[in-house]
Amino acid sequence: MPLAKKEVSLGSNSCDADTNPKQEKTSPVKKTQKTLFSFLGLPTPSTSRLDEDDIEKCETQTREQEPSSPDTPATPTTDKLNASLTSSTDIDGSSSEKESEEPTVGRRTLRGRVKRKIIISSDEESEDVVSSPLQKEAPSRRKKTKKNGDDEYNGDTCNEDSDDAAISDVVEESDYDDKKSRSKNTKKTVNKTNKTSGNLNSAQNKLKAFASNSAIRRGSSFSSTIHMTNSEKKKQRASDFKAKNEERYSWLQEVRDADGNLEGSPDYDSRTLFIPRSAWDKFTPFEKQFWEIKSKHWDTVVFFKKGKFYELYERDADIGHKEFDLKLTDRVNMRMVGVPEMAFESWAAQFIAKGHKVAKVDQMETALGKEMREKASNVKEDRIIRRELTSVFTAGTIVEGGLLTNEMSTYCMSIKESCPTENAPPAFGICFVDTATAEFHLASFLDDVDRTQFETLIMQTKPKEIIYEKGMLSQLSKRILKDCTNRPIWTALKPESEFWDANTTRSQIRMSRYFSNNQNTSIAQNEVDNEGDVTMIDNDEGNKIETWPSAIQEALKDPLMLSALGGLLWYLRSLKLDAELVSLQNFHIYDPICHNTSLVLDGQTLANLEVFENSLDGSTQGTVFQLLNRCITPFGKRTFKQWLCHPLRDIAAINARLDAIEELNTVPDFQDIFLVNFSHFPDLERLISRIHAGTCKVRDFLHVLTSFEKLTDTMEKLGGFANDFKSIRLKQLFESFPDLKPMLTHFNKAFDHEKAYKEGNLLPYPGVESDYDEIINRMAEVNKQLDGHLEDSKKLLKTSKIVYKDIGKELFQLEVPNTIKVPDHWQKLSRTQKVNRYWNPTLQKLIRDFQEAKETQSSVLKSLQSRFYQKFDAHYRNWLLAVKIVGEIDCLLSLAKSSLALGEPRCRPQFVSQEQSILEFEELRHPCFTAGAAFDFIPNDTFLGGDQPNMILLTGPNMGGKSTLLRQNCVAIIMAQLGCYVPAKHCRMTPFDRIYTRIGANDNILAGQSTFMVELSETSKIIHEATPRSMVILDELGRGTSTFDGYAIAYSVLHYLATHIGCLGLFSTHYGMLTQEFAKNPNIALKHMSCHVDQDRKEVTFLYKLVPGVCPKSYGMNVANMAGVPRQIVDRAEVVAAKFEQTSKLQDILTANSSNLPITTLCDFVYLLKSAARNGDSSKEIDGGALDNRADYKKEERYTRVLKTIIRGIKLM
- Give the pairing of strands 951-955 and 1084-1094: parallel
Distance (Å, whole) CA 775 – CA 948: 84
Q: What is the pLDDT of residue 218?
A: 45
Angle between helices 315-324 and 344-353 (to 10 degrees): 80
Instruction: Give the pLDDT confidence score for residue 1171 in this predicted structure.
Output: 60
What is the three-class DSSP state of 238? helix
pLDDT in the model for residue 706: 94
Q: Cα dist. 919→653, 843, 906, 987 in Å?
A: 19, 90, 16, 8
pLDDT band at residue 201 using 50, 70 and 90 as cut-offs: low
Distance CA 634, CA 639 (A): 9
Of 162 and 767, more confident: 767
- Is 1076's pLDDT higher than 70? yes
Per-residue confidence (pLDDT) for residue 78, from 0 to 100: 40
Q: Pick the more confident residue, 137 or 311.
A: 311
User: Between residues 332 and 1067, which one has the greater pLDDT?
Assistant: 1067
DSSP states of 218-231 as a string?
A: TTS-HHHHHT--HH
Instruction: Indicate if the pLDDT at residue 1189 is higher than 60.
Output: no
Confirm if 108 and 138 have CB atoms less than 8 A apart. yes
Q: Which whole number is the average pLDDT over 513-530? A: 52
User: Residue 88 above 90 pLDDT?
Assistant: no
Region of poorest pLDDT, from 279-283, 517-521, 546-550, 1057-1061: 517-521
- Name the least confident of 45-54, 520-529, 637-646, 901-910: 520-529
**1204 vs 2, residue with greater confidence:** 1204
In this prediction, residue 1153 carries a pLDDT of 52
Give pLDDT, residue 215. 45
Which backbone phi and psi does 169 adopt, to 5 degrees?
-110, 130
φ/ψ bin of 467: left (φ > 0), alpha (ψ from -120 to 50), beta (otherwise): beta
Residue 1159: per-residue pLDDT: 57
pLDDT of residue 469: 94
Give the bridge partners for 1069, in sequence order. Answer: none
Q: How confident is the model at residue 35 (pLDDT cuts 50, 70, 90)?
A: low
| Contact (Cβ atoms closer than 8 angstroms) between residue 414 and residue 564 | yes
pLDDT (0 to 100) of residue 406: 80
Q: Are 853 and 782 in contact (CB under 8 A)?
A: yes
Is the pLDDT score of 473 beyond 80? yes
Q: Which stretches of 133-172 are assigned E, i.e. beta strand? A: 169-172
Identity (one letter) of the amino acid at 261?
Answer: N
Which tens digits make up the pLDDT trace of 869-897? Answer: 999 999 999 999 999 999 999 999 999 99
pLDDT score recorded for residue 960: 81
Q: 1128-1157: per-residue pLDDT in tens?
A: 888 888 788 777 766 665 555 555 555 555
* pLDDT at res. 742: 93
Under 8 Å between Cβ of 562 and 502: yes
Encode pLDDT of 683-728 as tens digits: 999 999 999 988 888 999 999 999 999 999 999 999 888 888 889 9
Q: Under a CB-based contact definition with an 8 Å cutoff, are residues 169 and 107 in contact?
A: yes
DSSP state of 936: P
Confidence of residue 1197 (pLDDT cuts 50, 70, 90): low
Q: How does pLDDT run across 1035-1052, given as a tens digit for each residue?
A: 888 776 777 788 888 888
SS3 1064: strand
Query: CA angle 1009-1014-1019, nearest 5°?
Result: 150
Q: Is 517 exposed, middle or buried (0-12, 13-18, 19+ CB in 10 A)?
A: exposed
Residues 6+ apart with CB under 8 A from 292: none
- Label residue 787 by pLDDT band (50, 70, 90): very high
Going by C-beta distance under 8 Å and a sequence separation of 6 or more, which residues neighbour residue 492? 468, 469, 470, 471
- For residues 562 and 1072, which has the higher predicted lDDT (pLDDT)? 562
Total Cβ atoms within 10 A of residue 944: 22
Cα distance between the two ends of the chain: 140
Radius of gyration of the chain from its Cα atoms, rounded to whole angstroms: 42
Identity at 181, one-letter amino acid code = S
b/e for 11-40, b at 16 or more Cβ within 10 A?
bbbbbbbbeeeeeeeebbbbebbebbbebb
Contacts of 1104 (CB under 8 A, 6+ apart): 938, 940, 960, 961, 964, 1089, 1090
DSSP for 387-408, written as a single string: EEEEEEE-TT----TTT---SS
**Other CB atoms closer than 10 Å to residue 145's CB: what's the count?**
15
Q: What is the pLDDT of residue 1156?
A: 52
**pLDDT single digits (tens) 659-690:** 999 999 999 899 999 999 999 899 999 999 99
Q: Model confidence at 858, in pLDDT bands (50, 70, 90)?
A: confident
Residue 412, phi-psi category: left (phi > 0), alpha (psi -120 to 50), beta (remainder): beta
- Nearest alpha carbon to residue 831 among 801, 805, 809, 800: 805
> Helix 698-722 to helix 841-873 angle, to the nearest 10 degrees?
30
Residue-wise pLDDT for 920-971, tens only, equals 999 999 887 654 444 577 899 999 998 899 999 998 887 888 888 999 999 9
pLDDT, mean of residues 537-552: 66
**pLDDT in the model for residue 535:** 53
Distance CA 1109, CA 1089 (A): 9
Q: How far apart are CA 116 and CA 172, in angstroms?
A: 6
Query: Which residue segments constitute the domains of the chain, with CATH numbers given?
Result: 3-121+168-226 (no CATH), 258-393 (3.40.1170.10), 411-592 (3.30.420.110), 636-802+839-900 (1.10.1420.10), 910-1123 (3.40.50.300)
Taking the C-alpha atoms of residue 465 and residue 499, their distance in angstroms, rounded to an integer, is: 15
Which residues are 987's β-sheet partners?
Answer: 921
Alpha-helical runs (H) found in 679-802: 684-693, 698-722, 728-735, 741-750, 753-759, 770-797
Q: What is the pLDDT of residue 190?
A: 40
Model pLDDT, residue 951: 93
Mean pLDDT of the chain: 76
Pairing label, strands 1084-1094, 1064-1068: unpaired
Long-range pairs for 1024-1028 at CB < 8 Å and ≥24 separation? 1024/1187, 1024/1189, 1025/994, 1025/996, 1026/994, 1026/996, 1026/1057, 1026/1061, 1026/1063, 1027/993, 1027/994, 1027/1061, 1027/1063, 1027/1190, 1027/1192, 1028/916, 1028/917, 1028/1061, 1028/1062, 1028/1063
- What are the helix (H) ranges across 41-176? 52-65, 78-88, 93-100
From 470-474, 738-742, 1169-1173, the region with the lowest mean pLDDT: 1169-1173
Contact 847, 783 (CB under 8 A): no
Percent of the chain with pLDDT over 70: 69
Cis status, amide bond into 905, omega within 30 of 0: yes
Distance CA 370, CA 837 (A): 29
What one-letter code names the amino acid at 11?
A: G
1058, β-bridge pairs: none
**What pLDDT, on the 0 to 100 scale, is given for residue 810?**
86
Torsion on CA atoms 829, 831, 834, 837, rounded to nearest 10: -10
C-alpha triplet 3, 5, 11: angle, nearest 5°: 85
- How high is the pLDDT of residue 52? 45
- Residue 972 pLDDT grade (very low, low, confident, very high; cuts 50, 70, 90): very high
Residue pair 303/348 in contact (Cβ under 8 Å)? The answer is: yes
Residue 129, CA atoms < 13 Å, CB-side half-sphere: 13
